[in-house]
Amino acid sequence: MSTTVAETLTVRELVTRLRKYFVRRVLFPLGVLAPFAYFFPKIALFYAICGAYDVSRNHGLNFSTVRRYFIGNGFMTWVLSPFNILLDFLSLPYINKGVYRLEDLPPAYQEEVKRLMQIAKDENLVARLEARANEFPRTMVFFRWYGVNVDTFLDVPAFHQPWNYIQTIGVSVFNKKVSTSKHFGFMRASLRILYNLNDMADNSAYIEVGDKISYWRENKLFIFDDTLLHNSANETNQVRYCLFVDMIRPTRFPAVMRAVISGIRLLTQSFKFVYYKNWKVLDF
The pTM is what? 0.88
Res 91 pLDDT > 90:
yes
Which of 17-26, 114-123, 209-218 is predicted least confidently? 17-26
Give the pLDDT of residue 203: 93
Q: Classify residue 212 as exposed, middle or buried by CB count within 10 Å of its CB (0-12, 13-18, 19+).
A: middle
How many other CB atoms are there within 10 angstroms of residue 218's CB atom?
9
Please report, for residues 24, 98, 131, 262, the alpha-carbon distance to residue 58 in angstroms, rounded to integers and kept in the order given: 22, 8, 38, 27
Rounded CA-CA distance 142/32 in Å is 37
Q: Where are the domains of the chain?
A: 3-91, 99-281
Give residue-wise pLDDT tens across range 210-258: 999 999 999 999 999 999 999 999 999 999 999 999 999 999 999 999 9
Band (118; pLDDT cuts 50, 70, 90): very high
Mean of the pLDDT values across residues 143-148? 91
Rounded CA-CA distance 195/242 in Å is 5
Mean of the pLDDT values across residues 89-98? 94
Q: Which of 277, 274, 279 is nearest to 170 (CA)?
A: 279
Band (14; pLDDT cuts 50, 70, 90): confident
Give the pLDDT of residue 278: 65
Higher-pLDDT residue of 75, 12: 75
Supply angle C-alpha 78, 268, 108, rounded to 5. 85
Beta bridge partners of 139: 173, 280
Res 4 pLDDT > 50:
no
Q: Which fold has domain 99-281?
A: Jelly Rolls (2.60.120)
Give the pLDDT of residue 264: 86
The DSSP code for 21 is H
User: Which residues, in sequence order, are CB contacts of 182 under 8 Å at separation 6+?
Assistant: 68, 208, 229, 230, 231
